[in-house]
Structure 1
């Protein structure tokens, strides 16, 4: 078991939803968390303040990680502030759901850039520092949709499946180092994104889940904690937290 106190983590999209729960879970274990956000400045600042009141240390950093220079700046600010990077959690993501006939090239580009290209951007910037850690972790938040596909989600599914392929390949390359690389594939989780699904459609989805409920963001955060703390011999894997929906 790795002692997390004093470690430094970057969580992209770390101010809201699943990212917020990941930030909170790591911070409670003594990890210094850099909360990356693009447009959620208020939420990021409120989270930093709330964590400070609990005795945890966090720092909010605006960066559009779909842009390489922004991702480099995010990592540079982290190193300047804390001197190291141990954990990188790639959680930033968006959806632009359309049937393929209605899917514009802009819809495609935006989702691929934010969900997939951002992973290249952050990892390429952070890996030299993570490699110096005794227990480096790269954790990519993919999705069940990257495993099963989803109607009206060719762009999102392609990006999330790409994250899985990236994870496996990089894990192979880094297997002889202290760095592990894994993906977490959430099922349908109680977030603002899922809240946008019409209730009748959501009811049909829940009916197909063996556990008969949506997951919580805290359950995804617990998966991140497991990989950071206990996952030294786990690499190149997909941790499926989905209530049994994909077996």
Structure 2
């Protein structure tokens, strides 16, 4: 589904939203929340204004998406990525790789002070670096064969604020020189995501392919644009699905 950046709602507006989506009347909301009709009227107007709407019907899809991902009783997300840009490069020798990643992170309901990165690498080492002085990195004990890092932000990302996190990731001795893959899970709702995979022009794979997965199942997803060129493949995603991931594989003969 195509998602827009969520507006900053007050606690009362977040409380009212599920009632509006269920078709409850203003009187029913008033009785349930023990708030005066005039107060409810003001809250509803302010809420709809934030979605650029006059009626619930005008913005039903965006209201429903907010409730599903960020609302009270929803999936519990507190971050939104307006845009994610990932560039993966397999280096000569085929064992090492570099990733440059830029992520626009918006805090939705509460400040964001920590971001976790997990890398599943059976062998080799993963190194992270961050140009921003706002970022401190801490490596946690490995778990289930994975390397785990916590990204500590100071100052934190306040509610409604957007911060662009720039990351440089080194994979050292992590890849098989004959056949391997790079998998990324879509852990945070986004509006747009671009992923570019580059390979040495003088040592180009015999085959490059990708699979979309939803949980454990291979699926064909909407909103995916594929572009191939002389040095690799670019995938652009305009729709988000919870639990989705993309796996790009390459093979040398």
TM-score (norm 1): 0.30
More helix by share: 1
